[in-house]
């Protein structure tokens, strides 16, 4: 037996191709500035990553290894933050487009 999945959230549905939650979901009102703020945050994070990368390259040879490990971990977390904000922005834009289609 093939299960049909909701085309928005991929949970199994018993009828149609949209689950009850997605059919009735009304997203919060989103102003166009939301995308701008999130994109600006990503730009700031990328700028910080560039600065920290410069710091790493200029560290003396006798820098404690665990300090370098902490800095690299911080860079990794900053990168993940930028990726998450990008994904969230994409989801907000896609959701706005999907909801616009139902109206
Ligand atoms: Zn759904």
More confident residue, 99 or 11: 11
What's the CA gap between 71 and 30, in Å, rounded? Answer: 36
Q: How far is CA 14 from the centre of its chain?
A: 30
* Whole-number percent of the chain with pLDDT over 70: 87
**Cα 89 to middle of ligand 1, angstroms:** 19
Smallest Cα–Cα separation from 73: which of 98, 54, 93, 56?
Answer: 56
The average pLDDT across 93-97 equals 74
What's the CA gap between 38 and 55, in Å, rounded? Answer: 26
Tens digits of residue pLDDT in 53-63? 999 999 999 99
pLDDT on residue 85: 95
**Cα 12 to middle of ligand 1, angstroms:** 8
pTM given for the model: 0.61
pLDDT of residue 8 exceeding 50: yes
pLDDT of residue 86 exceeding 70: yes
**Cα 94 to middle of ligand 1, angstroms:** 14
**Cα 4 to middle of ligand 1, angstroms:** 11
């Amino acid at each position: 037996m093939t299960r049909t999945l909701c085309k928005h959230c991929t949970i199994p549905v018993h009828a149609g191709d949209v689950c009850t939650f997605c059919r009735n979901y009304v997203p919060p009102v989103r102003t166009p500035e939301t995308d701008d703020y999130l994109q600006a945050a990503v730009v700031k994070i990328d700028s910080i990553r560039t600065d920290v990368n410069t710091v790493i390259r200029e560290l003396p040879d006798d820098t404690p290894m665990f300090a370098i490990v902490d800095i690299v971990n911080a860079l990794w977390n900053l990168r993940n933050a930028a990726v998450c904000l990008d994904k969230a922005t994409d989801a907000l834009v896609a959701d706005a487009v999907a909801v616009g289609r139902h109206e």
